[in-house]
Every structure is written in C-alpha cells, then in structure tokens.
Amino acid sequence: MKVNKYFLAIFSVILILGLLASACGPKAEPTQAPAPTIARRAPTAAATAQPPAPARPTAAPTRPPVAAPTAAPAPTQSPMDKAAAFYKGKAFQIVIPYNPGGGYDTWGRILAPYLGKHLGATAIVKNEPGAGAKIALNRLAKLKDGLSIILFSPRAALTSQIYADEGVAYDLGQFNWIGTVSADVFPVVVSTKTGWKTLADLQAAPEVKFGSDTKTSGKAIRPLVMGSILGVNVKLVTGYGGSADEMLAMQRGEVDGLSTNVETLKPFIDSGDIVPVLMMHSKRIQYWPDVPTIYEAKQLTPEEKNTVDVALAFEAGRVAATTPNVPAERVAFLEAALKKTLAEPEVISKIKKIGAEVEFTSAKETSEKIKVLLAMNPKDKTMFGKLLGIKGY
C-alpha cells in the first residue's frame, strides 16, 4: 500500500511537469476541421421530370399599327405676312421725278416717315427729275422688287407713251398702281409783274409766255387748251426742271405765267407775287372762290367741252405706282401701307397746311383710269396731236 502511495505521488509529479511543459512550449497551429460531407441523394423521378410547357396565350385581336407621332407642321405665312417680312428693315425709295422744292417733293417728304413706319422699312425721298418723269420711269421699268414707288402726275408720261415720244422705254400699263393720294387742282396764274389780274387781261395781251418742263406736260397742255378755247395767244417756254424752276423763271421775268398744282402756287399767291386768273377744274376751290373755272369762262360748244373733258381726264391726280413684275402680295401690302399713311392725323394736318387735301383712291380704280387713258380713241388722239404740234397730226 506504501508502494502505491509512492507510485501515485510520482505519477502526479510527472503529470504536473508534463502539463507545465505543454503550456510553456511552442503553440501548434490550429487546424481546420474538415468540412462536413453532405450526402447527396440520387434524384427521384419527380425531380428529373421536365416542367410542363406554359400554355400559349390566346392571340389578341390585331390592331392597325399606330404611326409614330410627327412634329406639327410650321404655320403657313399669309401673303401679307410674307410681304411684311420682305420689307422689314429694308431701304425704300419714294421717287419724285421733279426737282426739290415743288409740291410733289413736299408730299413725298411728308409721307416718307409714316410710310416707312407702316412698311417696317426706312423710306427716303429720291428726286430724279427730267423729261416729264421719263428718266425716272425708264429706270424703274427695269426693276421688279417693289422697293420703290414713284409719286407723280402721269399726264406727261401718258402723252409721251401715247404719241411714241422719243426715248420712251417704259409701258405705264405694266406698272403696278398702288393708289392715288389726292386729286390735283390746277390754277392758271400770272406774275404780278405783268400787271395782269384777270382772264380778260390775258385775252387782250399780244402774247402770254408759259413755262413748262416738256411740251407734253400738263403745264404745257393746260395753257394750250385755255388758249385755243378762250382766245389767249399762248407761247410755251420749255426745258425747266420742275415747278420750282418755273417759279424762279417767273420771278426773273423769263415767263409770264404757269399752271401747276395748288400746293406749289399757294405760298406765292398768298405773298402777292402771283395772281390766279382761271381754274382748270370742274369746280371752284375754297382758297380763291372768285376765280372762275374754264367751264364757266364761256359757253362751251360740244366740241370745246369734249376737248376740255379729255384734257382734264389726264389730270389723274397724284398717283403712286411701284415697279413692274412685283408679286401681288407686295403690291397689296404697299397699297395697305399707303392707305394707313394717308389716314394718319398728322399727315392729314400737314397736307392741309400746304393747301391740299388727302383723297385716297384705290389701286384698282387708279389702274383702271390709267388703262382708259392709254386707250385714247383715234379722234381725240388726233385732236390732241394737233394741239401739241406733234409731227404727223
């Protein structure tokens, strides 16, 4: 039993020493436990069977294909909008075929800023005098853009075309007429330097010299008609550049008289430099109510009345036209702009101050009047040809 006690004691010491050595010695790297093996079962028949094919859906009723949405078309410009776009910001000419200082020049300068406003353009006056508007018309006849209008009395141009005057390269029937701004009234006046005051004084004078630009101008035709019907010995002095030049010629004594528009003459009548003796018109006017018309000056025969009627028919008024071959929408736009211009209160007031009245006539009426005058009958053509001294008549 003693042995066993000794043996147990020794065994205990050895065990303790072994434990101490194990704790103090190098540590062994821990090892991972092997992954548990999962036993795989063999697939059953149910698992290997293919899933049933899905049922095909019943075909829906076919619909027509829907077109992809498209962009809305751009709005179409109206003809007037198209014309407005054309004129916007452009330079625009009002051609006056006479020298500065006359009635037409004054009209042009009054109208220019307002017409420019209604066109959306910059309107300027261009004086282009010479040969009774022939020079300006010949140039404009070659254009076709509608960026110019001519404001003038068409008498001389009509007469030159009717009688195939040398140098005519225009056809008034091809121009686009946009309206008449006023009916012209033409007094016959004489310088106070002559001492004449009435028609009777002119009839008693041995000769009365009248100034004009050309022999086919109204400033020539009116005195000639007066002379042939009322017994005045009229002599024409031609070659002047316009009414302003002819007024200067009267002041210098080169000519005795003149027949032109009221606007040109009124300041000189008011100042006492000239005196009106006859109205080449169908009625008297408010400024000089005591001055008789040619219809009142004597009892006219049917032939004389026809002569006067035809002569005054050529006084088509202050007409405005643009160039040939202009698109219709531009012509209509120009007419509308001119009509609006003439309705401006300031324009009406300014025109009244120079002794005139705004009397707008449409493009259609103006065009028809010009066509009638161009189609003068042979009898009247012969009569006027003789009166004007045109070769062959």
Say which CATH number the domain at 302 has. 3.40.190.10
Is it the case that residue 335 has pLDDT exceeding 50? Answer: yes
Band of residue 40 on the pLDDT scale cut at 50, 70, 90:
very low
Q: Is residue 348 domain-resident?
A: yes
Q: Is residue 345 domain-resident?
A: yes
Residue type, position 303, single letter: E
Mean pLDDT lowest among 50-64, 133-147, 333-347: 50-64
Q: Is residue 332 domain-resident?
A: yes
For residue 95, give both structure tokens: 């051609």
* Residue with the two structure tokens 């106070």: 192
Average pLDDT, the chain: 85
Q: What is the pLDDT of residues 301-313, one digit of tens each?
A: 999 998 998 888 8
Same domain for 202 and 307, yes or no, is yes
Q: Provide the residue range defining the domain that includes 218.
A: 186-313
Query: Sheet harboring 234-237: ordered strands across?
Result: 234-237, 208-211, 257-259, 186-191, 274-280
Say which CATH number the domain at 346 has. 3.40.190.150
pTM of the model: 0.69
Among candidate residues 313, 333, 350, the one where a domain is terminated:
313
Is it the case that residue 32 has pLDDT exceeding 50? Answer: no
Same domain for 204 and 166, yes or no, is no
For residue 191, give both structure tokens: 């310088």
Same domain for 141 and 233, yes or no, is no
Residue type, position 307, single letter: T
Same domain for 195 and 179, yes or no, is no
Same domain for 292 and 276, yes or no, is yes
Same domain for 322 and 383, yes or no, is yes
Cα 159 to Cα 172: distance, rounded to the nearest angstrom:
11
Is it the case that residue 260 has pLDDT exceeding 60? Answer: yes
Q: Is residue 59 domain-resident?
A: no
Tell me how many domains the chain contains: 2
